[in-house]
Structure 1
Amino acid sequence: MSDPTPPTPSTRKRVRAITPNTEMDAYAIRESGSTSVENVHIPPRTPKSPRASYGGPREDSGEEEVQMRLLVGNGSTEEESNVAGLHEKNRANRPFSAKDKHAIALLVVLYLIQGVPIGLAMGSMPFLLKTSLSYSQLGVFTLSSYPYSLKLLWSPIVDSIFSPKLGRRKSWIVPIQLIIGSMMLWLSMRSDYIFDHPENKVTELTLLFVSLVFMSATQDIAVDGWALTLLSEDNLSYASTCQTIGLNTGFFSSFTMFLAFSSPEFANMLGIPPLTLSVYLKFWSLVCYSVTVWLLFFKTEDPVASDDPDLGVMKVYRIIWSIVKLKHVMSLCGMYLVAKIGFIANDSVSSLKLIEKGLKTEQYSTIVTTDFFVQLFAGYYAARWGIGDKPLRPWLYAFWLRLFFSLSTMAIVYVFPVPPPSFAFVCLVGLNYIGTQFAATIQFVGISAFHTRISDPLIGGTYMTLLNTASNLGGTWPKIFVMKGVDYFTQATCRIKDELLVEANECVTEPGREACEALGGVCITERDGYYVVTILTTLLAALILVFYVRGTANRLQALPTSKWRVHLNQ
């Protein structure tokens, strides 16, 4: 049941506290993937007027926030800094109300549903298809993650068009979740088709998962917007925590847990039959339908406030263009587009290489599952580090850590022993992976805190989506080039009685290696493009960090909030 208290003007104009990666990115997500818990605290703002105009100066100019930031950041006196720190501590220790507890539970469930198809597209499917596809073909399949990085393009439509009777956010969440559930149900009945010579239908499979991720990205836009009114002002920062817990849980369910339980060896160890993709998809389609029915009939969304700005679709697109034209926003987006180049090879290729070298799927799943629980705690403390006037500081520190772990992972792949690897070596792989993802969590929390601080409260949803789009896209666009680069720099030959028979492009895939063995030959890798690409991208990223990213980040986070505000019709 919804809280009967009507929304106030202050609860309508809030900063949107979300993320992607992915590197769900998930990576998007975990970058995405790409694939991370946060607890980003919002600095105090001046009280907002009942209604503000887009066309001129507003009363919520952020002067109090700027003054507080100057006290904490520049530290004019030790006493002033201590007072500011005590104020932050008191806000962080306020208890949750019953409404906030229910809202947090709902948000976690909604983000969980969103993370399930993303985990399939960005996690499990590349592993399942690797035996039949080359890295170049997998690079094409990674295009399925693009909708999550480009959701800004249609977010104004989601924010502006809705049914007042059903609710601004439920108007999108209900039908989108029904579509997601139906698509997973349809896929469950076509799972055999997916694995029947996938090398001949890469484009078809890519389009199929592009559609599924597109629906999840659209649901994300609506859920992010709903979080602004579901949570109270003091606990708004926990929206990003809900997103991280929900998305990570859904992502790991579809990625590591599914891969583990679908492994015959792991299933036999537990005395249960292996989990099939068909059964897994049917289960989550049922969950999706059940949650959607509950939302439709048992959850009432607060009506749109009377003072809420009446923005049409074109008006929102003009707002986006106005944000993009801000000099500092352009600098921030430019930095994001090149900042993640050094991490792509490690995030997208290293795990596949470890499996290729002889690491069992269930061993890798166990490693990532352990890391998931570590991140739930590590992300909280990383978020505490990011509170303050320099949220990009941990992001910069973790930059070097991620570059280090990119090289250390490459070294582990290089020295991987003859299968099966020892328990000690598997533990080494696990510790290295946990370190990699911990560094990614710190970066993720830092940019989320920074976005929360600088976004204009009146147009927070649109502003945050724009910033997250740039951040996610920075971890998405290089993937296809990195994957193709692995094949391009690889030199492998099939030799039969010391005579060259098959060129390199055949021996880079499992079917090609099997064809070589059928002829009585063996594939010999003379140069693995993975090492070349990893070294080149890591060196490039280090140069970009030293000569561009570090200075730009320090300059941008030192700016007052007023420099990030948008004034239209001037």
Structure 2
Amino acid sequence: MDDTNFQNIALSPRTPRFTPHAGRFSPRTPRFSLYRKFEADLDGLGEEEEEDEGDAEVTLLDEEERRRYAEGLEDGYGVVERSQQPIPAEDKRAMVLLCVLYLIQGIPLGLALGSMPFILQKQLSYSQLATFALCGYPYSLKLLWSPIVDSVFFSSFGRRKSWIIPMQLITGTLMLYISLNIQRLMDNPSHHVTHLTNVFTALVFFSATQDIAVDGWTLTLLSPENLSYASTCQTIGLNTGYFTSYTVFLALNSETIAEKWGIPRLTLSAYLRFWCFVSYSVCVWLLFKKERKEEATNSKIAIRQVYKQIWSMCKMRHIQALAFMFIFGKIGFAANDAATSLKMVEKGLQREDLAVAVLINFPFQIVAGWLVGSRWSRGEYPLRPWLYTFWPRIGFALTAMLIVYWFPSPPVSAGFFVFLVIHTILTSFTSTIQFVGSSAFFTRISDPVIGGTYMTLLNTFSNIGTMWPKWFVLKSIDKFTIATCQLVDDSSYLGEAATECVSQRGKALCADLDGTCLVVRDGYYLVSTSCMIFGVVFLVLYTTPTAWRLQALSPSSWRVKLS
């Protein structure tokens, strides 16, 4: 859905992802790929070439199936041409179900990665927010248990329903538990950071597990000729769920908007109870939904084989270079993604204004995703736009830091707000270009024989690169910030009463003494500058030469060989 400060959502016509502000998450674990023409002629492969390859290549397709998938593909990487046919009613119902399932999965993500950090910001330090940010990690690491979800099930109940219904019941129950306890936890969240992190981590974990099963169900839920609509369902569902829990909820939760429009304020407790009810209702619906039978497999062998494939891919030099490039290449704008929006709110930007800015940006992202995917990221060099966009993206991170530095005193003027919206749209556009470019490259190099596992591994590298810097960025902001408490009686300065005013304990002590926190050095600027310097150096010395070298390799260089 690559990068992080979950404020924006980017769409890809080929491999949709869940996305944050300047950040992308790839929520789905692909279970199928469009089989492209093999670089070598299928009929021309001689015994000499096969012997040179050493180990035999694992294949799930016989010669006839390979030939059938290869026919009609344009330029070796196109899509199989099929005449346009009306969508059957059964597939339409299946698409509605998929949209609903993906929407429910997007609800916890929007809360954990979008709304909660802004709700907690006024009462937590950046170090404590860093701890809470750990709850997003399960979506980046779900490759570790996806083979188990695909292989272990009760055939009598249904291969996918065996996981979807329990996960949805658990997710609904967790939301009910949080709704019943959220008021107690939010009264003093600084004392319940670990508890809040644990429950939202569990919420994201079970949602990610359900996502694996839903992705697999698309293979049999939709007819083969309409499998391409699975991406559309995921895009609509996940983005709508995330958008609802982030932008819409923040707006309806705002006391200012409630008073202005004369509507009741939506509390977090009521919101969670509503979606708990929806989750339980969909579970009842699923009980009456029959699965198409899939060919039975030996679960233990399947699990062992998939993990063996993953390990074989990780040993390839090309994969190692690509992983290093994606995991460290995004540090240049990591501080901007993780902390800039929080800093703007701290400076006086209203949460409802931020929600409106994201709302305005949403349709631009849809258009940008289509434009980039259909024009700029096609052809032999899909990483070219991804690579070129690093410079403006780091530039927009610098601009954002300067905006925070010179942020005007509230209330924000209309002209400045328009400037913020334009900056948000441009930043999101560069993020979308990078997201779609990397997605197109992953699709190009993935081995068609094990396309699902291959794509999942590549997306995992991209997602880890998005998530891992966030904890260090937020922690470092507090570590390098110097703030003291000043005591003032009317207009007279009386002195300093505390050595620090960074932690919640220090701020509380200063407030008890009727003092004011004076920031001597804001760690945000130091961390942001360090990230941008590292990003430029890494881009010049490693990312640029590595990206050109990797995309110049032939697709056959990325094939997996298993002994």
1:407–1:431 distance in 2 versus 1, CA, 3 Å: same
Instruction: Give the structure 1 partner of residue 407 of structure 2.
Output: 416
Superposition deviation, residue 300 in structure 1: 2.5
Match of 1:556 among 547, 550, 562: 550
Contact 1:36 1:375 in 2 (8 A): no
Partner SS for 1:476: helix
Contact 1:493 1:524 in 2 (8 A): yes
Match of 1:539 among 519, 533, 543: 533
After superposition, what is the alpha-carbon deviation per residue over 1:416-435, rounded to whole angstroms, capped at 9, x for unaligned?
Answer: 11110101111111111122
Matched, 1:500 2:500: no
Instruction: Give the structure 2 partner of residue 338 of structure 1.
Output: 328
**Take 1:154 and 1:37, find their aligned partners in 2: how far apart are those partners?**
16
**Take 2:82 and 2:340, find their aligned partners in 1: how far apart are those partners?**
39
**Take 2:448 and 2:223, find their aligned partners in 1: how far apart are those partners?**
14
Contact 2:331 2:469 in 1 (8 A): yes
Match of 2:357 among 351, 367, 372: 367
Superposition deviation, residue 521 in structure 1: 2.4
Instruction: Give the structure 2 partner of residue 224 of structure 1.
Output: 215
**Take 1:289 and 1:22, find their aligned partners in 2: how far apart are those partners?**
31
In structure 1, runs of 5+ residues without a counterpart are 1-18, 70-82
After superposition, what is the alpha-carbon deviation per residue over 1:222-263, rounded to whole angstroms, capped at 9, x for unaligned?
Answer: 122223444566655554443333222211211111111001
Partner SS for 1:419: coil
Instruction: Give the structure 2 partner of residue 486 of structure 1.
Output: 477
Contact 2:483 2:521 in 1 (8 A): yes
Superposition deviation, residue 338 in structure 1: 0.5
**Take 1:521 and 1:31, find their aligned partners in 2: how far apart are those partners?**
37
Superposition deviation, residue 148 in structure 1: 1.0
Instruction: Report the more deviating stretch, 19-28 or 422-431.
Output: 19-28
**Take 2:414 and 2:551, find their aligned partners in 1: how far apart are those partners?**
45
Partner SS for 1:377: helix
Superposition deviation, residue 409 in structure 1: 1.1
After superposition, what is the alpha-carbon deviation per residue over 1:202-230, rounded to whole angstroms, capped at 9, x for unaligned?
Answer: 12211111111111111121122223444
Alignment of 1:20-419 (within 5 A): 29-30=18-19, 34-35=23-24, 44-45=36-37, 55-56=56-57, 58=59, 84=75, 91=81, 94=84, 97-98=87-88, 101-231=92-222, 236-297=227-288, 299-305=289-295, 311-385=301-375, 386-419=377-410
Superposition deviation, residue 551 in structure 1: 1.9
Contact 1:490 1:529 in 2 (8 A): yes
After superposition, what is the alpha-carbon deviation per residue over 1:426-471, rounded to whole angstroms, capped at 9, x for unaligned?
Answer: 1111111122222222222222222223223332222222111111
Q: How many residues of Structure 1 are paired with residues of Structure 2 in the alignment? A: 529
Matched, 1:433 2:424: yes
Instruction: Give the structure 2 partner of residue 457 of structure 1.
Output: 448
**Take 1:26 and 1:220, find their aligned partners in 2: how far apart are those partners?**
20
CA RMSD of aligned residues (A): 3.4
Between the aligned residues of both structures, percent identity stands at 49
1:20–1:395 distance in 2 versus 1, CA, 3 Å: closer
After superposition, what is the alpha-carbon deviation per residue over 1:288-339, rounded to whole angstroms, capped at 9, x for unaligned?
Answer: 2222222221x32222137999843222211211121122122211111102
Contact 2:132 2:196 in 1 (8 A): yes
1:210–1:309 distance in 2 versus 1, CA, 3 Å: closer
Normalised by the length of structure 1, the TM-score is: 0.84
Contact 1:36 1:376 in 2 (8 A): no
Instruction: Give the structure 1 partner of residue 46 of structure 2.
Output: none
Instruction: Give the structure 2 partner of residue 12 of structure 1.
Output: none
1:403–1:117 distance in 2 versus 1, CA, 3 Å: same
**Take 2:152 and 2:549, find their aligned partners in 1: how far apart are those partners?**
38
1:84–1:243 distance in 2 versus 1, CA, 3 Å: same
Instruction: Report the more deviating stretch, 255-264 or 437-446.
Output: 437-446
Instruction: Report the more deviating stretch, 239-248 or 115-124.
Output: 239-248
1:242–1:402 distance in 2 versus 1, CA, 3 Å: farther
Partner SS for 2:468: coil
1:292–1:304 distance in 2 versus 1, CA, 3 Å: same
Instruction: Give the structure 1 partner of residue 513 of structure 2.
Output: 519
**Take 2:527 and 2:408, find their aligned partners in 1: how far apart are those partners?**
22
In structure 2, runs of 5+ residues without a counterpart are 10-16, 44-54, 488-492
**Take 2:70 and 2:385, find their aligned partners in 1: how far apart are those partners?**
21
Superposition deviation, residue 88 in structure 1: 5.0
1:123–1:464 distance in 2 versus 1, CA, 3 Å: same
After superposition, what is the alpha-carbon deviation per residue over 1:263-293, rounded to whole angstroms, capped at 9, x for unaligned?
Answer: 1111122211110001100111122222222
Superposition deviation, residue 45 in structure 1: 3.7
Superposition deviation, residue 563 in structure 1: 1.9
**Take 1:130 and 1:457, find their aligned partners in 2: how far apart are those partners?**
45
Instruction: Give the structure 1 partner of residue 52 of structure 2.
Output: none
**Take 1:162 and 1:32, find their aligned partners in 2: how far apart are those partners?**
37
Superposition deviation, residue 120 in structure 1: 0.9
Superposition deviation, residue 392 in structure 1: 2.0
What one-letter code is carried by the residue in structure 2 that aligns with 1:502? A
